[in-house]
Structure 1
């Protein structure tokens, strides 16, 4: 489900925060917009008078949005200056070759609110009355998509593989997968279809979707492997389910002294997935999948909608930043490490 064309930044706090937490998109948005502000403490800040002029709204309109969204805008860079810092700002304004009236009557004010670029963008994503703000919101959405596509070579389908933890998670899951399929082979009185059935049971238990539904949402082709698109945390949890259920199933088979019928296996699985220790792990995996897929893949898992949260700056570093790499590079590095270890031995 593609959502970029339907995103309304004025109403979605999650979408706004995803923009503001993405350092790579912010750099590009600042370059594209070319906002002129006041140099202050190594960055550029603007006052509400400048924002009102830029968006062609009244100062009272800016103040209203600030009052309604104080916590959000403050979290994203708005602050009130006093004392020495305010003196420094006033000096910076005097150094600018513009009329001081552009900044309101600030000569005697004991405190002054300033917006850095993030806070300015935050406000731009809220002001619904301004045509300029509306145009800027479209620029923001376009830049965010372009930035992610450029940094991943357009391959957001496999953006999960750029994570440094993916390779280890994939290798580990493969061995646990064999334990799972062996247990199904030896313990379940059912045809080959059983592998798909109980794999889907794990998927539904963890992220509420069968393999077919997940494929459709991510627009996977027939040759694409579902697990190749999972984030490391999801792969780890799938591996834990496979390993744990294989053990529980083997115990049930030993207890009965025969293969189990599908209805019996279903009961074993139902009891297995209800174990309390799964709950926090499942909640975390759902949040990671729902939030990252919306931010990086523009895919909304409707069954996980309640788990969507803003993607943190660390995740942008992890998947499109300097720490991220193509899987082929990581495999080459792993091959080199193995070769060195072999030569040393």
Structure 2
């Protein structure tokens, strides 16, 4: 998917919240600024010079995007902090005129690297900013691929909660298919039919549509690509609806007709207690797939939000782990528990 960072606040924030990408982008950019409070900062004059635009252009972007830039590191210094910055500039072996007339100014805005990068993703007039945006996108892709071993199809499995959710869902899946077998008067077609009803109820896509969006191959199963929160909700649906099928079939003393099952499912899925769980699952799936897999679920666009820093840690950071390694760890734990008996 071709991303235009100048038009997408969500794509910008996903990059700015990704500490692993930020570290690599900062190395590649090689920006030289003012050492201040343990990091490098830049003044408006320096930023304007880097992007080869006028100071007024930078000020316009600051006015138009004040909230976003402030959230991402742009700050106006006054008092003691401003005095400390002036002292830091004085210690630098460069002419003070490079920083504009700051001697008597009562306040001064500064960009840390995160805020500078935020601005680079906004300035459309600058060729340098355009080149930097392309480098940013390339680095983000490289970092995610590097930390996931070359692909994101199963990035969901790097989550420490995935293994437990997958085991739980598999058990409830068996209960659900058994309930369909025992209680629904329909051929084997009933298994994909009612599985798809659950998918559409939760994330507005059937299996075929989901596979197309994630570009899954024919041999790829859907469930191994789902996030733990989605698997948990599917398990809850399977458990609850399977139980409801058995209760209804027992009350009628016979297997249920497909039309009866459809009515029952409609009542089941519209119960109000599902709403917060469905909204959470949709938000997690839509937001993570856009950020990690570059996959947009069109039916869930309204649920897309920027990922927070801990999400990147969860899936590509130190807390994340390949499924094979988690399985090995689980095997070792089970062996130790067995040896105690």
Counterpart of 2:318 in structure 1 is 322
Normalising by structure 2, what TM-score?
Answer: 0.99
The reply on whether 1:190 has 2:186 as its aligned counterpart is yes
Distance 2:189 2:42 in 1: 63
Distance 1:228 1:83 in 2: 56
Counterpart of 1:245 in structure 2 is 241
Which of 59, 68, 75 is 1:63 aligned to?
59
Which of 203, 210, 216 is 1:214 aligned to?
210
> Pairwise CA RMSD of aligned residues?
0.7
Counterpart of 2:83 in structure 1 is 87
Distance 1:307 1:325 in 2: 27
Counterpart of 2:159 in structure 1 is 163
The reply on whether 1:34 has 2:19 as its aligned counterpart is no
Provide runs of 4+ in structure 1 moved above 2 Å.
Answer: none
Distance 1:223 1:97 in 2: 62
Counterpart of 1:148 in structure 2 is 144
Task: Give 1:166-185 correspondences, 5 Å limit.
Answer: 166-185=162-181
Distance 1:207 1:115 in 2: 40
The reply on whether 1:125 has 2:121 as its aligned counterpart is yes
For 1:194-243, what per-residue CA distance to the aligned partner results, in whole angstroms no more than 9, with x for missing partners? 11000000000000111011111111122211100000000000000000
Distance 2:66 2:252 in 1: 63
Partner SS, residue 241 of structure 1: helix
Counterpart of 2:328 in structure 1 is 332
Task: Give 1:196-345 correspondences, 5 Å limit.
Answer: 196-345=192-341
Q: CA deviation at 1:302?
A: 0.6
Distance 1:121 1:188 in 2: 58
For 1:65-121, what per-residue CA distance to the aligned partner results, in whole angstroms no more than 9, with x for missing partners? 001111100000011111111111111111111111111111111111111000000
Distance 1:343 1:221 in 2: 42
Partner SS, residue 192 of structure 1: coil
For 1:158-205, what per-residue CA distance to the aligned partner results, in whole angstroms no more than 9, with x for missing partners? 000000000000011011111110110000000111110000000000
Distance 1:90 1:245 in 2: 67
Distance 2:47 2:29 in 1: 13
Normalising by structure 1, what TM-score?
Answer: 0.98
The reply on whether 1:18 has 2:23 as its aligned counterpart is no
Structure 2 unaligned spans of 5+: none
For 1:316-338, what per-residue CA distance to the aligned partner results, in whole angstroms no more than 9, with x for missing partners? 00000000000000000000000
Counterpart of 2:101 in structure 1 is 105
Partner SS, residue 277 of structure 1: helix
Q: CA deviation at 1:251?
A: 1.0
Distance 1:104 1:168 in 2: 58
